[in-house]
Amino acid sequence: MDKYTYILDDNQKNERIDKVLSSLNGEWSRTQVQQWIKEGHVTVNGSAVKTNYKGSPGDEITVTIPDLVELDVLPEEMNLEIYYEDADVLVVNKPSGMVVHPAPGHTTGTLVNGLMAHCTDLSGINGVMRPGIVHRIDKDTSGLLMVAKNDMAHENLVQQLVDKTVTRKYQAIVHGVIPHDYGTIDAPIGRDKKDRQSMTVTEENSKHAVTHFRVIERFNSFTHVECQLETGRTHQIRVHMKYIGFPLAGDPKYGLRKTLDINGQALHAGLLGFVHPRTKEYMEFEAPLPKEFLEVLDYVSKSN
């Protein structure tokens, strides 16, 4: 366990502590410093502070870096569908049915297991259970994910998500016939008080959430839509489409009681675009609809 101590001078007054520490030590990313602050590894004059604490000249800042925790998640050889890879980033097409990252009691068969076998240089910012993971999609959602191979790339890609400059378009099949061609759902999402495992549209303890959609094709009882995320809340598309009365087909959590008998919701993250953290070039990738989605599309089209 390493310990570092800094005394602030006039040049650092009124600066956020996370920004100050990341500039004082060039090897620490701001995201990593924020994590240490939240975990209580950073003190100012002997007391814990929040990430938005602004320093004063003479403040004594102590950073106690915790020992690295050995990752007890083992690499597993998988036939991953890699769309792009270089020294900084990787884009992978996740199949439906695969969990993105391990959780206690579930440490095998995840995308992270496969990534660890594919490459050893993954960003550690998100912790030992989520190396390289910048964002995620649900187990039964297929599609494209960007993965960071170092902390610089991770911090840059996260900032792009915060700045809402990442392009994320999904295709979905929903119950009901949506009458208008385009729409925007601007409704905050938070935990459901009645079911803590579910999310819902609520004003209490919620976060701003915006989803744009357009109709691709209408059927007798279903609609094929494209949804574009402006924000990235947990289960956002599933919750928002349910909120406006058009829940996703096959959705076991937010769908209708009598929904299609398929393996999870008909949702595919088909298009992903972002600016490369190092080259600053805009890159865009598109994954075709998987076989399972096409089968559902064929079924609902025949319902006309």
Domains of the chain: residue spans and CATH: 2-65 (3.10.290.10), 68-162 (3.30.2350.10), 164-304 (3.30.2350.10)
Q: Which of 23, 121, 86 is nearest to 277 (CA)?
A: 86
187-193's contacts with Cβ under 8 Å and 24+ in sequence apart are 187/240, 187/243, 189/233, 189/234, 189/235, 189/236, 189/239, 189/240
Q: Give the H/E segment covering residue 160.
A: helix 151-162
* pLDDT at residue 105, as a whole number: 65
Question: Mean pLDDT per segment of 10 residues, for the chain of length 304 residues?
Answer: 82 83 72 84 90 88 75 85 97 95 81 93 81 92 96 94 96 97 97 88 93 97 97 96 97 90 93 97 98 94 78
Express each pLDDT in 50-101 by its tens digit. 888 888 889 899 988 876 555 577 899 999 999 999 999 999 999 999 999 8
Residue 277: partners with Cβ closer than 8 Å, 6 or more residues away: 88, 89, 148, 152, 153, 156, 157
Catalytic residues, by residue number, are: 138
* Residue 284 contacts residue 271 (beta carbons within 8 Å): yes
Q: In sequence order, what E strands does the chain have?
A: 2-7, 42-44, 47-48, 60-65, 81-85, 89-94, 142-148, 167-175, 182-186, 189-192, 195-201, 206-207, 210-218, 222-229, 267-275, 282-286
* pLDDT at residue 20, as a whole number: 82
Distances (CA, A) of 145 to 28, 163, 164: 25, 18, 16
* pLDDT at residue 304, as a whole number: 62
* pLDDT at residue 221, as a whole number: 94
* pLDDT at residue 188, as a whole number: 96
* pLDDT at residue 114, as a whole number: 95
* pLDDT at residue 96, as a whole number: 95
pTM, 2 dp? 0.78
Tally of residues, the chain: 304
